[in-house]
Amino acid sequence: MPLIDLSSPIDAEFWEPDPIKHEVLSHADGARHVISEMRAHFDLDLPVDVFPDGEFLSNDFLYLSAHTGTHIDAPLHYGSKASYGRPRSIDELPLEWFHGQGVRLDLRAWPIGAVGADALREQLALVRHKLSPGDIVLLHTGAERLLGSPRYFTDFVGLDRSGVDLLLDAGVRVIGTDAFSLDAPFPDMINRYHETGRPEVLWPAHFAGREREYCQIERLGNLGALPSPTGFTVTCFPVKVARSGAGWCRAVAFI
Ligand SMILES: [Zn+2]
């Protein structure tokens, strides 16, 4: 069964608003490290030359946001409380949510900003897909081409509240995008807020999660590699970070 990786990497060389720190403990440093740890915790001695070439195992230490790389936003991310009850953290959600029939909708022709229910209806008709409960919808915005650069955070199209409602009304629990956010870019929303004076234009997709329990996958990758908009399943199990509002995931399509 062919597998297609739909994930973007966590890469400390990428430009990020909250930079990633990735410290590598080399194999040689790993040898010195394990020797001192064994001495400190268990009073055990090991000579460094017991390891081939003096090398033990490497290690990687990361300091990064849970919203780096491909990740799932949990209901807790959207607010401390929700109208439907207590918003759940990423470790509390049912795995069934993260395995389902996938459908890719093409939003690449839309300008920077947010699209709504009409655009989604149009795309669903184009790919002849009727949404079913548990479907995982993947929005192909094309933002991935800017990955690693500052423009990745400003040049993309998101969803407005009517778009989110259309999908959730059909029983969708997980909405994915290859962009930085499911909402419009921050500067676009803030400019529209200043133009209109309407606070509803600010983060409508995320704030919808204060009324309706659902997840987003952000920063997907490789959506163009799917051979067709339907006819695949998606698996995107989030890393089980206790009490976290988000968790990294490896999103994969099974054709
Ligand atoms: Zn996020």
pLDDT digits (tens, 9 = 90+) for 73-125: 999 999 999 999 999 999 999 999 999 999 999 999 999 999 999 999 999 99
Residue 125 CA to residue 111 CA, distance in Å, equals 21
Q: Is 46 a member of any domain?
A: yes
pLDDT, position 198: 96
pLDDT, position 92: 98
The pairing of beta strand 21-25 with beta strand 113-115: unpaired
- C-alpha 45 to ligand 1 mean position (Å): 45
Taken in order 103, 163, 81, 68, the sign of the CA dihedral is positive
Place of tokens 């207590």: 86
- C-alpha 186 to ligand 1 mean position (Å): 13
- C-alpha 99 to ligand 1 mean position (Å): 19
pLDDT, position 123: 98
Q: Which tokens hold the place of 238? A: 């989030």
| Count: domains in the chain | 2
Q: Say whether pLDDT at 14 is over 90.
A: yes
- C-alpha 217 to ligand 1 mean position (Å): 7
Q: Is 15 a member of any domain?
A: no
What are the Cα distances from residue 240, in Å, to 36, 74, 90, 154, 191? Answer: 30, 11, 7, 30, 36
Same domain, 160 and 140: yes
- C-alpha 94 to ligand 1 mean position (Å): 18
**∠ Cα 195 200 202 (to 5°):** 75
Residue 37 CA to residue 33 CA, distance in Å, equals 6
Residue 199 CA to residue 215 CA, distance in Å, equals 22
- C-alpha 73 to ligand 1 mean position (Å): 5
Same domain, 97 and 45: no
Residue 8 CA to residue 151 CA, distance in Å, equals 16
- C-alpha 158 to ligand 1 mean position (Å): 13
Same domain, 166 and 55: no
Q: Is 135 a member of any domain?
A: yes
Same domain, 36 and 136: no
pLDDT digits (tens, 9 = 90+) for 236-247: 999 999 999 999
- C-alpha 24 to ligand 1 mean position (Å): 25
- C-alpha 74 to ligand 1 mean position (Å): 8
pLDDT, position 144: 94
pLDDT over 90 percentage in the chain: 99
Same domain, 27 and 149: no
Q: Say whether pLDDT at 153 is over 90.
A: yes
pLDDT level of residue 1 (50, 70, 90 thresholds): confident
Same domain, 120 and 219: yes
Same domain, 94 and 167: yes
- C-alpha 72 to ligand 1 mean position (Å): 6
Q: Which of 218, 216, 229, 39 is nearest to 126 (CA)?
A: 229
Q: Is 50 a member of any domain?
A: yes
- C-alpha 181 to ligand 1 mean position (Å): 7
What are the Cα distances from residue 31, in Å, to 75, 137, 155, 188? Answer: 42, 46, 45, 50
- C-alpha 68 to ligand 1 mean position (Å): 8
pLDDT, mean over the chain: 97
pLDDT, position 158: 98
What's the DSSP call for residue 185?
Answer: P
CATH number at residue 247: 3.50.30.50
pLDDT over 70 percentage in the chain: 100
pLDDT digits (tens, 9 = 90+) for 45-64: 999 899 999 999 999 999 99
- C-alpha 139 to ligand 1 mean position (Å): 15
Identify the burial level of 130 via C-beta atoms within 10 angstroms of its C-beta, where 0-12 means exposed, 13-18 middle and 19 or more buried: exposed
Q: Say whether pLDDT at 24 is over 90.
A: yes
Mean pLDDT across 158-182: 98
- C-alpha 232 to ligand 1 mean position (Å): 24
pLDDT digits (tens, 9 = 90+) for 180-208: 999 999 999 999 999 999 999 999 999 99
Q: Which domain holds residue 227?
A: 4-9+66-254
Same domain, 85 and 193: yes
Whether the CB-CB separation of 98 and 74 falls below 8 Å is answered with no
Same domain, 120 and 52: no
